[in-house]
Structure 1
């Protein structure tokens, strides 16, 4: 599996983010790419007295993150938006596992990983502290080299056919925007809804319905940021909601305010970004 199984969307108010942080993504090559989707890094250098909060719609993936002071942590698939207040100057580096990849890699039960945050030493042992020091003392390229070597040395042996099946299904969910219901997905994959629920529960700890809805919310937030004037009823129908009211409810339930308000925020940020670049 070399193709994408998680989106590169989810960062809210991307116009504002572009003024405050430098988000970089790096591919994972070789056999490790079966488990790890990509490496990522966030760099920031904010003027004294200013702060920025990065807000992200969660992905159905675990992350191994390397940070100054705090150290290395593992974060499981989240169920709520994640908030990251930033100030001063800094850098965070991470490895993003594929959906289900963390459980396939470590053998840790998926149900215990969902919405989980724990020191990485709990999972990978004390050597991860030295790894964090190496990653934080060098640049992104050094981090990629060090983390790749660390994880490759701990890769499971053999082939997990159920995990490979899961990756194929998740890739289909990500790519096919017409998939909006679990029964549709089950029919396309020649299985049952219960079969999908068992498979997703075993590896991700979240159900297929939640993943479908999460990917479509990624799409919705991305469209609203790029085109704040988009017709909301049409967008809701295009992404599989039965009507605008249900779309608004789900968007507000996860993000905290309705899509119309989010679109207005993005429109304001876009104008300010244009003015800042003049």
Structure 2
């Protein structure tokens, strides 16, 4: 499925540890976009820095130390991995985060503890057995994902109309590269520009233009990384940037480097 091959968000995929994405099952698709599972086992003294341009969304994450809820970020981020470890996360839809944190503004650019001991116990128990032979055709990772899905299904009630509208906003931005302005988004949703701005702030805690630009910048990084023969000007034009200079400015502001420098560094790593 597309979720398993979506390369957006990870700036240097070749540096990833073992990484798996699993689409949410049908009854959870309105609240969870997908689950993700990295696992790593690094030699003593070695650190692997994972550089990310996160999706404009929140994540509920189970790790060995506990459960955390992270909000949408306004820029790039990184995680330093050491030793042996794992994480099991759920990328939440706008309708899903509202059920766990009614005011996403309180966790923007932050990661906070989330009290869910039963979720942690179930996932951690399964992941500790992840290296063991499969049981009944299910690996430890499979059992961890199943436990996570069951926990969510028991706590996230079906989204309301406002949540579904926010999901539609996210889906349109994510899937349609021609959406580069807020007025285009408002027209597709059938609401006013002010209505879109309020919806995005209420459900994501990012301005709608910031959400649009995040997806387009993710796509630009992916194109630059995966299609070395494609000119930077062509990437800018395809993704709705006014010109090469605007894409470069976006790259420098968010990633701290120019598109050309990013393309070269992605080949080296």
TM range (shorter): 0.7 to 0.9
Select the structure with the greater relative contact order (CA < 8 A; seq sep ≥ 6).
1
Distance 1:203 1:62, change over 3 A: same
Q: Would you say the 8 A contact 1:48–1:88 is kept in 2?
A: yes
Q: Distance in 2 between matches of 1:53 and 1:31?
A: 35
1:97-117 Cα shifts (integer Å, max 9, x gaps): 1134211x2352122232231
Residue 67 (str. 1) matches residue 67 (str. 2): no
| Native 8 Å contact 1:66 1:136 kept in 2 | no
Q: Who is 1:276 aligned against?
A: none
Change (3 A) 1:46 1:133: closer
- Equivalence for 2:40: 44
Distance of aligned partners of 1:60 and 1:47 in 2 relative to their CA distance in 1, 3 Å threshold: same
Q: TM-score, normalised by structure 2?
A: 0.87
- Alpha carbons 2:94, 2:163 under 8 Å: kept: no
Q: C-alpha separation between the residues in 2 aligned to 1:78 and 1:100? A: 18
What does 1:136-151 align with in structure 2 at a 5 Å threshold? 136-138=127-129, 139-151=140-152
Gaps spanning 5+ residues in structure 2: where?
130-139
Between Structure 1 and Structure 2, how many residues are aligned? Answer: 257
Deviates more, 1:206-215 or 1:189-198: 189-198
Match of 1:119 among 109, 113, 123: 113
Q: Matched residues in 2 for 1:79 and 1:26: separation? A: 25
Change (3 A) 1:110 1:98: same
User: Are the equivalent residues in 1 in contact too, given 2:7–2:222 (CA < 8 A)?
Assistant: no
What's the TM-score once normalised by structure 1's chain length? 0.85
Report the 3-state secondary structure (helix = DSSP H, G, I; strand = E; otherwise coil) of the residue aligned with 1:260. helix
What is the Cα-based RMSD across aligned positions, in Å?
2.1
